[in-house]
Amino acid sequence: MDLFEKCHNYKLVDQLKEADLYPYFHYLESGQDIVVNMEGHRVIMIGSNNYLGLTNHPEVVEAGIKAFEKYGSGCSGSRFLNGTLDMHMQLESELASFLHKEAACTFSTGFMSNLGIISAIAGRNDVIICDKESHASIYDGCRLSYAKLLRYDHNDMADLERQLQSVPSDKGILIVTDGVFSMGGDLCNLPEIVRLKKKYGARLLIDDAHGLGVFGEGGRGTASHFGLEDDVDIIMNTFSKSLASLGGSMSADKEVVNYIKHNSRPFIFAASITPANTACALKALQILEHEPDRPKKLLDIADYMRGALRKRNIPIRDSVAPIIPINTYQDLRTFFACKTLFDKGVYVNPCISPSVPVGEAIIRTSYTATHTPELMDEAADIILDVFTNDLPKFDATHKDDTL
């Protein structure tokens, strides 16, 4: 059997392109912002994770330029050897201080952060228990760790306890959950997770990629939001969202950070974050500290858009984050909606199986602190127009659909 047979038989992309419904790889001709130039026309951007609106902030841009001029284009090595800059150390120190942890460690990307943390801290004699809606990077980190993986139903604390009860007493336990779930925009039930963690002697990792800069005191994240910073053992963050850059980090007790820095293969064998990315993340963090009202503006504009969509009877899911899922149910219907919205000037993200269950496809919309009510009303009117006049009616007798 030819290894590439699966590639030759993969026809979905060609079929979607032939039907003019292919929704991926649209290219920007301007910087990431609330309104962008994309493939030749103006588009309202409600599909970005630029939560604080800092990707084009002049201080962030200037910091990146200065770092490029001082350090050059890259570090030419891993943090473990020649690739550590003084600025990496400063970023780690300021992150740890901001998150009220003893130490921090940076990774080349957010995805690699989960890969590096989980694979180093858990091993063959350990058990990882994660929420079923955890991010793909968490699942891949679990696979790399060789620990036994158990999953509990999304935010189902009774199921989590059942899984904890099944673990032998001689096994180490790591509970892993997103702080803010990227598809549904809901929060984990952190108070109950912490209670169960203590009851069963487990450790807890929160992926707070969508929580930093959004929830908590001054944007410190999900643990801060619940007042449980001391009870979360490891906080993972990414720089590609609120911190307007590229990279990721973990924050924890200094012994835990030190262990991972010396035992994590994705950390040891990967090149360090570029100087410009490091400088941009550091400056964005400093802006967040000096402008703690940005997270409130973000949540306020998301609430405004929720109200605007409900007023227009758009079928949204309940959420509390600046992530508002719109139900489209069927994959093909979702592609059609995203294509039509794009043509009419609104960019959104299609989320189909397997990222969501079959028959539960959504349009994922997300918001930025610098969005305005006027822009939200314009986008909501376009969404209403598409759902009223262009979108095929949902047929509940067909959970899935194909071209």
Regarding whether 278 and 299 lie in a shared domain, the answer is no
* Confidence class for position 326, pLDDT limits 50, 70, 90: very high
Share above pLDDT 90 across residues of the chain, in percent, rounded to a whole number: 94
Q: What is the pLDDT of residues 45-80, one digit of tens each?
A: 999 999 999 999 999 999 999 999 999 999 999 999
Share above pLDDT 70 across residues of the chain, in percent, rounded to a whole number: 98
**Residue 402's pLDDT is what?**
54
**Residue 391's pLDDT is what?**
84
Provide the pairing of β-strand 349-351 with 103-107: unpaired
Distances (CA, A) of 213 to 89, 189, 232, 371: 21, 19, 18, 16
**Residue 392's pLDDT is what?**
78
Looking at the structure of the chain, the number of domains it has is 2
**Residue 164's pLDDT is what?**
98
**C-beta separation of 368 from 52 below 8 A:** yes
Residue 402 resides in a domain: no
**Residue 356's pLDDT is what?**
86
Rounded to an integer, the average pLDDT of 263-285 is 97
Residue 32 resides in a domain: yes
Cβ neighbors of 277 (< 8 A, separation 6 or more) are 64, 239, 245, 246, 247
Domain span holding position 174 = 58-290
pLDDT for 194 beyond 90: yes
**Residue 354's pLDDT is what?**
83
Rounded to an integer, the average pLDDT of 114-140 is 97
Regarding whether 269 and 327 lie in a shared domain, the answer is no
Q: Show which residues are catalytic.
A: 182, 210, 241
Rounded to an integer, the average pLDDT of 205-222 is 98
Regarding whether 297 and 286 lie in a shared domain, the answer is no
**Residue 72's pLDDT is what?**
97
What is this structure's pTM? 0.95
Residue 395 resides in a domain: no
CA torsion 109-113-119-122 (nearest 10°) is 180
Q: Select from 290, 306, 327 the last residue of a domain.
A: 290
Residue 144 resides in a domain: yes
Regarding whether 309 and 274 lie in a shared domain, the answer is no
Regarding whether 277 and 358 lie in a shared domain, the answer is no
Residue 401 resides in a domain: no
Residue 130 resides in a domain: yes
* Confidence class for position 238, pLDDT limits 50, 70, 90: very high
Nearest of 314, 309, 333 to residue 395 by alpha carbon = 333
Q: What is the pLDDT of residues 275-306, one digit of tens each?
A: 999 999 999 999 999 999 999 999 999 999 99
* Confidence class for position 401, pLDDT limits 50, 70, 90: low
Q: Select from 256, 290, 324 the last residue of a domain.
A: 290
Rounded to an integer, the average pLDDT of 378-402 is 81
**Residue 358's pLDDT is what?**
87
Regarding whether 344 and 252 lie in a shared domain, the answer is no
**Residue 225's pLDDT is what?**
98
Q: Select from 256, 274, 290 the last residue of a domain.
A: 290
pLDDT for 399 beyond 70: no
* Confidence class for position 223, pLDDT limits 50, 70, 90: very high
**Residue 235's pLDDT is what?**
98
* Confidence class for position 34, pLDDT limits 50, 70, 90: very high
**Residue 353's pLDDT is what?**
84
Q: What is the pLDDT of residues 11-29, one digit of tens each?
A: 999 999 999 999 999 999 9
Residue 403 resides in a domain: no
Regarding whether 270 and 125 lie in a shared domain, the answer is yes
Regarding whether 193 and 336 lie in a shared domain, the answer is no
**Residue 390's pLDDT is what?**
85
More confident residue, 390 or 306: 306
CA dist 225 and 176 (Å) reads 18
Say which CATH number the domain at 372 has.
3.90.1150.10
Regarding whether 124 and 268 lie in a shared domain, the answer is yes
Print burial letters for 28-62: b (CB count within 10 Å at least 16), e (below 16).
Answer: eeeebbbebebeeeebbbbbbbbbbbbbebeebbe
Regarding whether 235 and 120 lie in a shared domain, the answer is yes
Mean pLDDT of the chain: 95
Regarding whether 306 and 273 lie in a shared domain, the answer is no
Nearest of 111, 109, 141 to residue 126 by alpha carbon = 141
Regarding whether 314 and 362 lie in a shared domain, the answer is yes
**Residue 395's pLDDT is what?**
67
Nearest of 196, 194, 204 to residue 226 by alpha carbon = 194
Residue 105 resides in a domain: yes
Say which CATH number the domain at 273 has.
3.40.640.10
CA dist 395 and 403 (Å) reads 15
